[in-house]
Structure formats: C-alpha cells, structure tokens
Amino acid sequence: MRFKGNRLTNHKKVIIFPNQPPGPVIVWSFFDFGYLAGGKPIQDWYDNDISDRARLSFNATIKNNEKIANHLEWSGVVKQMQGELKGHQIWQWRISGEVQYRMLGIFSGSKRAVFLMGYHHKGEVYIPRNALQTALDRKILFDQGAYKLYERQAENSL
Amino acid sequence: MSDRQKIVSRLIADRDFRADYIRAKLEVLIPSQLRALRLREDKTQPELAQLAEMRQSRISAMETPGRVNFNLETLVRMAATLNVGLMVKLVPFSEMLNWENSYSQDTFNVTRLGNDIDFLRPATRVRKRARRSRSLRHLGIVENTPQIPLGVQANPTCTPAQQERPTRFQFETLTSRRQNLTTVPSRSGSIQGLPVLKEAVGAGGNYHYGTR
C-alpha cells in the first residue's frame, strides 16, 4: 500500500482519515447557590468543612457527571429523597470520604443543576444539624428568585 | 499561588494526599465503568447480579462511588461476568488525568470477548503464517520477519490504550513490510545470487510472495 500524507493513493476514491475525535462533550453546567446578600455557602462548605479526600471526590464526581447526558445515569445520585425532602424535587449526591458527605441540589433549566447544601452525617446526626431544613429554605428562596448563582467548574488539569 | 499549584505542591510533598487523589478518581471511575457496561448491555442490576452470582444490592453498591472498597478479585469477577478484560496498570499522574478527562460514561464501551476480532483472529494468523513458511521453505527461502514492535505505526489519533494494539489496517501494513525475503544456501550447497526474490517467485510457479 502506498501512502501520501494520511491518504491512500492506490484507490480511485481518496479516503481521508477522520481527524482526532473530540473529547467527551460536557453537557451539564453546575452552579453554587448564593444569597443575594453575597454569602457563598457552598464555596464556604467546600473550603472549610470537608476533607481533602472529599474535596477531590467532589471534583471527580463533577467531572464524571457533567459528561453524562441523562441525569438518571449519574453515579452516586439519589433521585427520590425521603423524609423531610420528599416531594421537593431535590436530589442528592453521595461524595466519598472518611465520613458520608452529601450534596443536595435541584435542576434549573436545561442541563443546569444548582447545589443547594453540602453536609455530612454519621448515622442520624447531621452536620450541620439543620442541613435538610436549610436546603429547603434555600429551595424556597430559589423558587422566589432570591438567589445568586456561581458557576462551579471542575478543573481539567487536576 | 493558584489552587492547582497548591494541590500539585501537596501532591509532591504528601504521600497521603497522593493516595487521596488516586482514590478519589478510582472511586468515581470504576463504578462509572461498571454502570456504563451494564447499561450498554441493556441489563438491569438484578440481571447482572444473577450472572455474577451476587446480590442486586451488591451491584448497586458497586455502582455507587465510595460504597465499596474494591479488591482485585471483585474486579476480576465483574470483568469476567461482563466478558471483558481487566488491566491494572501503574501509570504517571498525567496519564491518569488524561484517562479521567477523556472518559465519558455515555460513550464508554468495551468490545466483548465474543466480538473481539483482534483477540480471536491471531489463531488464524498463526496458521496462515505457518502455511506460508512451509511453502517458502520448500523453495529454499527463509522468511525474514523483523520484529517490528507493534504500535510503531500507531495512528496518532488513537488513545495510548488503542495504540498498543494495531488496527486491522495497521496490521496489514506491518505484515506487508515483513515480507522482506532473503535466500539461504540451497541443500546442494550452492549459494544463489542475492536478491533472488523475483527468481524465487518465478520458480515457484503459482506462488507469488513478492510484492507485485
């Protein structure tokens, strides 16, 4: 066989090899909930309240799930919440770490998700204690339009 | 100092942090791969559990990041159930990062053993090569098959994993290059002139081993 560049020349029809396939498409955007007054509760939780391992796991989870078109196939997601959060269309991510970290969120528009509340729990003890109620309060604020959003992107170089 | 620089500094300095970094990626990517392969097969968790002789709850746990501490035997068992191979490889951090960045659960798929032509074909290839060697030996020709490392001609568009095994097209290219034939003294002891490829082809009648 003969080659000229990346083409075969012994064919009547020139076959052009496809270019390098593009990387996976990022289909989801994730946002942190923020108060109108300027508080950034998700960023505060990320910076201060979780371990290094959980922080890395959170990033890895974002990087994985942002490329999955169907949110029902997200890994580590609980779609149907029970108890206080039942019926509020709030979902939960499990984030692995030394303790069971959780992130509560909601959908907002096409392929957009908003993180409402991060917490962890040991058994029935939630930290912070009012985590579920706070998530509900933020959901109400969100529905009323009293919020700010901050985009959260998992850095590709980490 | 940027966040990235901080993390890189810690990675360099702290062994535990390096372990956390590796663990964080594997805890997400292994369950994601298992889920992806199950979904590609249109199987439910109970169906897969039945094949793997496990409980459905265990399959569910394995597909949830951080719920299971995978050991090698579990992974082997799942790979065998899903009819795929398993590679556990120590790599540079950059390669691990590239793997994570290029990985997508939506597009991830692995050729199952039954459809793995690259794996199933070599038996045929060996038989053909043996038949050809016998025919050449009959003509007093020993086939010189230089050991061209596979992947030398690898397509630059392939991922490193794909480059390890040549595609069918690359394989044909490699084998055509391997048809460098040399002569050896015939049994009578006389040395034929070199190269004698054309003569050998002519003498062979119906045999055509040279490139035409």
Give the tens place of pLDDT for each residue, A120-131.
Answer: 988 888 899 999
CA distances from B27 to A94, A95, B38, B101 (A): 11, 10, 17, 15
Question: Dihedral sign, CA of B45, B48, B50, B54?
Answer: negative
Q: Is the peptide bond before B195 cis (omega within 30 degrees of 0)?
A: yes
**For residue A47, pLDDT beyond 70:** yes
Q: B186 CA to chain A: closest CA distance, Å?
A: 32
Instruction: Please give the Cα distance from B27 to A94 (Å, whole number).
Output: 11
Hey, which residues 60-119 in chain A have their CB within 8 Å of chain B? 60-61, 63-64, 67-70, 73, 75-76, 94-97
Q: Provide ipTM, 2 decimals.
A: 0.82
Residue pairs between chains A and B whose CB atoms are closer than 8 Å = 100
Q: Among 3.40.50.720, 3.30.450.20, 3.30.70.100, 1.10.260.40, what is the CATH number of B3-112?
A: 1.10.260.40
Is-contact A54 A95, C-beta < 8 A?
A: yes
Give the pLDDT score at A42. Answer: 96
Q: Which residues of chain B have pLDDT under 70?
A: 123-128, 142-212
Instruction: Please give the Cα distance from B211 to B180 (Å, whole number).
Output: 9
CB contact under 8 A, B157 and A20: yes
Tokens of B182: 């040399």
Residue boundaries of the structural domains of chain A: 26-152
Give the tens place of pLDDT for each residue, A73-85.
Answer: 998 888 878 888 8
Average pLDDT over residues A37-59: 93
Of the candidates A21, A25, A76, the beta carbon closest to that of B64 is on A76
Residue boundaries of the structural domains of chain B: 3-112, 118-203
**Which of B114, B122, B109, B107 has its CA nearest to residue B166?**
B122
Residues constituting chain A: 158
Q: Kindly report the number of other CB atoms within 10 A of residue A55's CB atom.
A: 19
Q: What is the pTM of this model?
A: 0.70
Q: A156 CA to chain B: closest CA distance, Å?
A: 7
- What is the residue type of B6? K
Give the pLDDT score at A93. Answer: 94
* Residues of B engaging A, defined by a Cβ cutoff of 8 Å: 3-4, 7, 10, 17, 20-21, 23-25, 27-29, 31-32, 35, 39, 63-67, 97, 100-107, 155-157, 172-173, 176
Q: Which residue has the higher pLDDT, B210 or A157?
A: A157
Give the tens place of pLDDT for each residue, A128-152.
Answer: 999 999 999 999 999 999 999 999 9
**Which of A131, A104, A100 has its CA nearest to residue A115?**
A104
- Rounded to the nearest angstrom, the gap between the alpha carbon of residue B5 and the centroid of all alpha carbons in its chain is 35
Tokens of B71: 């050991």
Give the pLDDT score at B157. Answer: 57
Give the pLDDT score at A156. Answer: 78
Give the pLDDT score at B170. Answer: 56
